[in-house]
Amino acid sequence: MKTSYYAKFSRLPKEEKSRFMPILISTSLPKWFLNSEEYYIEYKTLAPSRNNVFNLKNDYISQEDFTEAYLDKLKGLDIEQILEDIYDLEGITDSEVIFLCYEKSDDFCHRHILREYLNENFNTNITELGVD
């Protein structure tokens, strides 16, 4: 499993893209991405709340408060079932799941929180595409 952002994934060569099954985990989805990609799965269950994203972007809450709220959401989900569902949905031989959202690799983003949470609690080894 990997994580990355829409723009980086969209710039990958077609043969490299074909190795992955993109799982879109943002609250909103970029139309340009949806129109340009052949396949993907929307999985908004793993997206943060729109309210928390709005509050973070407008400096109404801190990154720490956002992280706490997002971790609370994750702790309330049946993550083992979600992981099973994702692998069942994948259905493409030799492909690898990649969680995508908007923020660049070095920017604060919920996908980094998700990656760390899954790696620490669910025996996964998720890395950021091209970084880890």
pLDDT in tens, 67-105: 999 999 999 999 999 888 887 765 655 568 999 999 999
Q: Is the pLDDT of residue 132 over 70?
A: no
The span from the CA of 5 to the CA of 91, in Å, is 22
N residues, the chain: 132
Secondary element (H or E) of residue 93: none
Q: pTM of the prediction? A: 0.92
3-state helix, strand, coil in the chain (%, to 5): 50, 15, 35
Q: Among 101, 122, 124, which residue's Cα sits nearest to residue 43? A: 101
pLDDT of amino acid 88: 78
